[in-house]
Amino acid sequence: MVRDFNIAKTEADISSYAGYVGSAFMLGRGLTSVLWGIISDRYGRKPVLVIGIITIVIFNTLFGLSTSLWMAIVTRFLLGSLCGVFGPVKAYASELFREEHQAIGLSTVSAAWGIGLIIGPALGGYLAQPTEKYPHLFLKGSFWDKFPYFLPCLIISGFAFVVAILCIWIPETLHNHNGCNESTYDAEALGKGSNGANKDNMTKKNLNLFLNWPLMSSIIVYGVFSLHEIAYQEVFSLWAVSPTRLGGLNFTSDNVGDVLAISGVALIIYQLTLFPYFENACGPVSIARISGVLSIPLLQSYPFIAMLSGITLYIVISIASILKYILQVTIVTGLFILQNRLVEQHQRGAANGIAMTAMSLFKTIGPATGGAILSWSQKRMNASFLPGTHMLFFIMNVVEALGVLMMFKPFLGEKNKTIIV
């Protein structure tokens, strides 16, 4: 889309402009997530979910009709500002399940979210510019030729419209758990599983969320991994379609769509089958630590994978993409579980709103920064130190390593007792 706006002077500059579009959504979400969380704590999870999904229907459709960079940026910003579903839906999922089954609930959220982030670009790859890919169905000079990126947005908005209707029948969970089951948690105990929590020590019911250090430290860690995650998502597709002379894979958008679709299928199978067992055995913190450590050598291998060709390249990058997304979503889901166990129900929406704000602010700089670093790395292909995309993936790994270190004492290891209602 950015290429068709005809504002980029060079191919490498397209990455930077595309990053601005991605950052606009995160900036909007970062400015309003706490507000939507507070609204969900006061009026319920369901109204916020319905409003957010209707927002997707409207502004995602308008995004597909963008004819300029500024229109694309504004529609994405408004979509991020008015769609406050992600924080409340995590609270909703944790409240639908009993404590021992919360890993299943929150892993389902992560699976749906991760699959959306994979299937969305895949749909874009298959359905964008339909007059070029399917000329027998979409004629040159038609509406679809004038707005070549509207079709995938229309499909997604149609799906969101159906979901908005189905939301009429979902139950409200805000006041469904007023029983006396109370548990206490601390970050270190959660690293070993929730059974290690000391259930005799509890803080006051209305503890200020900003004084809950295990919660705030987990949110900061979540922000760091979110920065890495969005930068990876932004960079992967741009890197994959880059020519081999710039260290890319020289894939078509269809090739990228295939890889992401395969990753999406593998991700949902993992999240709904294996993740709950791993989380139960290791605890959310430990499994996040392990996944973060394993992600580093995997990501640094990407420039070497780009040296392959043919079917070997396609198979290896597909496997690497599957592993990367599985490790990535495992980290995020572990942090989801930790955050929702460290607060009471009446504060859960606000806590998730704070987490979403932090995540969105980090993700605001992620796409633009990732695109800019990719563009810069492709201009230093003959450098003596970490040439080309070696530097790109090294910088991304520095962020990943920082997040891993922050999941250990003393940053995440301080104890805090909290009531869970």
Q: What is the pLDDT of residue 263?
A: 84
CB 317 within 8 A of CB 259: yes
Q: How far apart are CA 125 and CA 237, in angstroms?
A: 10
For 328-344, the pLDDT digits (tens) are 989 988 888 888 888 87
Q: How far apart are CA 129 and CA 294, in angstroms?
A: 37
Would you say the pTM of this structure is higher than 0.95? no
For 101-132, the pLDDT digits (tens) are 777 777 777 777 767 766 777 788 788 889 88
Strands of 214-307 (E only): list them: none
For 139-155, the pLDDT digits (tens) are 888 899 889 999 999 99
Q: What is the pLDDT of residue 8?
A: 64
Q: What is the pLDDT of residue 393?
A: 92
Q: Where are the domains of the chain?
A: 3-406
> How many angstroms separate the Cα of 235 from the Cα of each of 16, 71, 117, 409?
10, 23, 13, 31
Strands of 143-244 (E only): list them: none
Token pair, residue 30, equals 């970062």
C-beta pairs of 219-223 under 8 Å, 24+ apart in sequence: 219/339, 219/354, 219/355, 219/358, 220/358, 220/406, 221/335, 221/403, 221/406, 221/407, 221/411, 221/412, 222/332, 222/335, 222/339, 222/355, 222/358, 222/359, 223/358, 223/359, 223/361, 223/362
Q: What is the pLDDT of residue 374?
A: 85
At residue 299, what is the residue type?
A: L
Token pair, residue 179, equals 């029983």
| Homologous superfamily, domain 3-406 | MFS general substrate transporter like domains (1.20.1250.20)
What does pLDDT average to over the chain? 82
* Regions in the chain scoring below 50 on pLDDT: 176-189, 194-204, 414-421
